[in-house]
Structure 1
Amino acid sequence: MKPAKKLAAMAALFAAVMLPAHAQILVGQTAGFSGQVAAGVRETTDGALLFLDAVNAKGGVNGQKVELVSLDDKFDPKLAAENARKLIEEQSVVALFLTRGTPHTQAIIPLLDKHGVPLVAPSTGAIVLHRPVQKYIFNVRATYQREAEKAMTHLASMGVKRIALVSANDTFGDDGIAGALKGLAASNLQPVLQEKFDRAKPDFAPIVAKAAKADAQAVLMVASGAAVVDATNALRQAGSAAQIVTLSNNASSGFIKSLGANGRGVIVTQVFPNERAMTFPLVKEAQDLARAKGLGELSPAMLEGFAGAKVLVEGLRRAGPKPTREKLQAALETLRKFDLGGLELNFSPEDHTGLDFADLSIIGTDGKFRR
């Protein structure tokens, strides 16, 4: 090879080696991949990855692939905050995404405010994340209060009047109960029992005894999956036939499996359309991608993650070819009348609620959510 050509080849090789790897958009997630909410967390994340993988397969967003960096916080608010710090300060993620839990999400708000990092689609319906508006939090799903209120008015319309309210002693529990009390008040009812339990060390025996004494026809459980399963088992072992009702944080296939035979007839509120309702383009898109990957049927939790990923990607797309935290924040606030696929989502600087859809489902004898 002639010297000039050899030098040119060496220069080209050197340039190739020195060029940075294909740029990726880093998005961070902290959630309880182990512990009492693990089943739901895995399903929401699988749903999100279903959409993100499809986007990346087509070249990503503005030519950049989106990488989701997920850390396990074991459903511990303190660990959630530390994970968020690592993702923001050490890995320089452009956004946080799909956190799980009310106190857990609240624990990371100071970090969002300090670094100007948007959080998209937290998997919690806490009213404190909606009102007053949290500048850096962009909710996609409806509030727990909306769900609980709808559940209570539904029970009242069926003639169920003796309703017990049981909740974890945390901000999530308080939030759901506030909505339930609104629904009961609208139906001119009062709860026959209102009890809290220690989220870390629940003891349902005394609560079950009180529910039996109050002759409760229905029991609303505002708690995470494992606690609701334990409480349901305790009620059934005590001979109670009370209707069990819980919120959409437990809308996962894993929750149904954990309930086993006691799952039949449990009412679970939902914040997205029926995962088998192909008339919704959102559902059809998710179903088609799931089948293509051999994942089988969708769960409501997967659909929540899928919808959240669609919002995240649209925000990144509007943020331009070199998205920053600031650009993404501004872009998300332009999502007005954004069609998720049969559901219209709206954000503005004054409103970060997104959707207000709420529905009810019941676990059938086949172990599936029915509407």
Structure 2
Amino acid sequence: MHALKKCWIAAALCATLGAAQAQLLVGQTAGFTGQVAAGVKEASDGAKLYIDMVNAKGGVNGQKIELIALDDKFDPKLAAENARKLIEENNVLALFLNRGTPHTEAIIPLLDKHGVPLVGPSTGAMVLHQPVRKHVFNVRATYQREAEKAMTHLASMGITRIGVVYADDSFGADGLAGAQKGLVAAKLTPVLQEKFDRAKPDFAPIAAKLTKADAQAVLIIASGSSVVEASNAIRGAGSAAQIVTLSNNASTGFIKSMGANARGVIVTQVYPNERAVTYPMVKEAQDLARAQGLGDISPAMLEGFAAAKVLVEGLKRAGPKPSREKIQAALEGLRKFDLGGLEVSYSPEDHTGLDFADLSIIGTDGKFRR
């Protein structure tokens, strides 16, 4: 009897410890090193702000969120392998905040095979919106919407000689499609439309052509260091064309990497001004960042913060014993969820999330200005 009683006590203790240590495993694969490292770090820091706050308050339904993050060095093949490990070996409930268009495309077969939802991919590729990807839940507007808005803005300023330089991958092609929509709407033809090898870019001949074409502005659809290299080549060739790029470069790290060429660059944005405290989400992120001594937040941090809010809401609605299937169903049932001034809605037929798009310019103080 005494031995039996000890077994009961041990079992009760194990159950108690199990409940206390229960964790909600979420996986992330992104380029923590390589050409997009600055933006990835800031987006991840923004997500961590919210997740840490939720965990400090007891987690979700009494369980804390554990984010397992793997570096894919911005390589689509490595992204797919990381996703496989996270899904099949770590048994994560969901994937979260990965980075890159070809990278997300490489992950999708695994999502579909195992029924794993992916929340907040850090890419605005239209291919992730239409047709609907069953397990992909976007939290940001499309690159096409951004590129179209940029072209419309340039045309409204009387700029007619516009060049487009884009990476030779699915991301570049997607942004190009949006730029073409904007150019057609403005009844303009690009003076230059050039693609480059993402793995081994050579911008000198492109910069020479851009200068010869006397371009007044150029949209560079590329990531991180490629935009820096392209800008250096363009300025080195003597061109004063207005440089424009998309929100995948909306990070403080990108501004620093641009150096002297940062001033005056137009960067499209998919979230409100990071200093606009009239948006409750922005104020919440600012307050949490300051409480942790992080200082100012960036647009990239806001992207991660918003994605984390959607992830946490999905976990909450999935109940005390969440599964991949329950999280999928919870997210598809999300209607008019208030992030703090912006609403997100999903359905089985629509996984777009937000449609917010804006423009910013990098000021002399090295900050984005609206």
State the match for 2:357 in structure 1.
358
Between the aligned partners of 2:257 and 2:312, the Cα distance in structure 1 is 33
State the partner residue of 2:134: 135
- String of CA shifts for 1:294-323, please: whole Å, max 9, x gaps: 110000000000000000000110000011
1:239 aligned counterpart, secondary structure:
coil
Q: Residue type matched to 2:247 in 1?
A: S
CA distance 1:327–1:10, change in 2 (3 Å)? closer
Cα distance in structure 1, aligned partners of 2:119 and 2:66: 15
Report what 2:167 is aligned to: 168
Amino acid at match of 1:365: T
Is residue 112 of structure 2 the alignment partner of residue 89 of structure 1?
Answer: no
Q: For residues 53-92 of structure 1, what are the structure 2 equivalents within 5 Å?
A: 53-92=52-91
**Displacement after TM superposition at 1:238 (Å):** 1.7
Runs of 4+ in 1 over 2 A off after TM superposition: 6-21
How much does 1:8 deviate? 5.3
Distance 2:117 2:22 in 1: 20
The match for 1:227 is 226
Which deviates further from its counterpart, 150-159 or 10-19?
10-19
Distance 1:305 1:41 in 2: 9
**Which one-letter code corresponds to 1:200 in the other structure?**
A
Provide the rounded CA distance (Å) in 2 between the counterparts of 1:11 and 1:304: 48
Aligned twin of 2:240: 241
Q: What whole-Å deviation, never above 9, does each CA across 1:242-291 have from its counterpart, x for those lacking one?
A: 00000000000000000011100000000000000000001001001001
Query: Aligned ranges for residues 149-160 of structure 1 at < 5 Å?
Result: 149-160=148-159
- Tell me the alpha carbon deviations over residues 125-169 of structure 1, each in whole angstroms, 9 at most, x when there is no partner: 000000000000000000000000000000000001000000000
Correspondences of 1:206-285 after superposition (within 5 Å): 206-285=205-284
Q: Deviations over 1:63-110 (max 9, x none)?
A: 110111000000000000000000000000000000100000000100
Counterpart residue number, 1:330: 329
Q: What is the alpha-carbon distance in structure 2 between the residues aligned to residue 265 and residue 177 of structure 1?
A: 22
- Give the corresponding residue for 1:16: 13
Structure 2 CA distance, aligned partners of 1:213 and 1:261? 23
1:8-42: per-residue Cα shift (whole Å, max 9, x none)?
57863565357536110000000000000000000
Q: Aligned letter for 2:9?
A: A
Q: What code does the residue aligned with 2:231 have? A: T
Write the mapping of 1:95-106 to structure 2, written as runs, cut at 5 A.
95-106=94-105
- Alpha-carbon separation, structure 1, partners of 2:14 and 2:65: 23
Which amino acid in 2 is paired with 1:257?
K
Equivalent residue of 2:70, what SS? strand
Distance 1:15 1:347 in 2: 41
| Superposition map of 1:174-189 within 5 A | 174-189=173-188
User: What is the TM-score normalised by the length of structure 2?
Assistant: 0.97
d(CA) in 2 for partners of 1:330, 1:113: 14
Mean Cα deviation higher: 207-216 or 7-16: 7-16
What is the RMSD computed on CA atoms of the aligned residues?
A: 1.4
Structure 1: which 5+ residue stretches go unaligned?
A: none
SS at match of 1:351: coil
CA distance in 2, matches of 1:268, 1:87: 33
Residue identity (%): 78
Partner of 2:288: 289
Measure how far apart 1:240 and its partner are: 1.1
SS at 1:30 equivalent: strand
TM-score w.r.t. length of structure 1: 0.97
Q: Secondary structure at the match of 2:243?
A: strand
Query: Aligned with 1:249: secondary structure?
Result: helix
* Secondary structure in 2 matching 1:274: coil
Change in 2 beyond 3 A, CA 1:17/1:348: closer
Structure 1: distance between partners of 2:96 and 2:360: 26
SS for the counterpart of 1:362 is strand
Could you tell me which residue of structure 1 aligns to residue 340 of structure 2? 341
Secondary structure (helix, strand or coil) at the match of 1:354 reads: coil
- Secondary structure, counterpart of 1:152 in structure 2: helix
Cα distance in 2 for residues equivalent to 1:93 and 1:102: 22
> In the aligned structure 1, how far is the partner of 2:99 from the partner of 2:21?
31
Letter of the 1:327 partner, please give it: K
CA distance in 2, matches of 1:249, 1:202: 18
2:317 corresponding residue in structure 1: 318
User: What amino acid is aligned across from residue 282 of structure 2 in structure 1?
Assistant: V
Supply the distance in 1 between the matched residues of 2:128 and 2:7 (Cα, whole angstroms): 56
Aligned to 2:120: 121
